[in-house]
Structure 1
Amino acid sequence: MGNGAKAQQKRERNAKDKGVAKSQLKVNQQAMDIQCQICKSTFLKTTKAPALLEHAQNKHTKGLADCFPTFAAS
């Protein structure tokens, strides 16, 4: 077996190992379950209260409870 055959075998082995590229986009889209009741903007479920309060104050000049009445800090 020459070097050309070894290189071809290595290419075939590497082609088998490579899977489908994994993307986090679909998972992130599904995890957006906090929604502003005024503008309907969505936020990731891991978003903390200070970021939501900032949105409420800057975009709507309202409080956290006005924009996100169902938000429970965890």
Structure 2
Amino acid sequence: MGNGAKAQQKRERNQKDGKAAKSQLKVNQQACDIQCVVCKSTFLKTTKAPALTEHAENKHNKTLSEAFPSFEE
């Protein structure tokens, strides 16, 4: 039996248990609270200041407060 057959059997077993694969995409989309005012890119609300500063400096040559005026640490 190859790995493909094992994977299929596992999927069938899990299907019988009522467990379905759940996607996190919708939850992640709703959690994008921080938005860059220059390019309108959204970031998760758990994004830290260094990552936002890097975006502002590398993409727009601006400071954190210029690109994300509503951001609070």
- Band of TM-score, shorter chain: 0.7 to 0.9
2:45 maps to what in 1?
45
Q: TM-score, normalised by structure 2?
A: 0.76
Q: Choose 1 or 2 for highest CA Rg.
A: 1
1:25 maps to what in 2?
25
Aligned residues: 62
Q: Is contact 2:14–2:20 with CA below 8 Å preserved after alignment?
A: no
Q: Alpha-carbon deviations, 1:24-54, whole Å to 9, x = none?
A: 1110010001000000000000000000000
Structure 1: gaps spanning 5 or more residues: 1-12
1:54 maps to what in 2?
54
**Where do 4+ consecutive residues of structure 1 move more than 4 Å?**
none
Residue 14 and residue 22 in structure 1: after superposition, are their counterparts in 2 closer, same or farther (change >3 A)?
A: closer
Residue 16 and residue 69 in structure 1: after superposition, are their counterparts in 2 closer, same or farther (change >3 A)?
A: same
Q: TM-score, normalised by structure 1?
A: 0.75
1:7 maps to what in 2?
none
1:9 maps to what in 2?
none
CA positional deviation for 1:19: 2.8
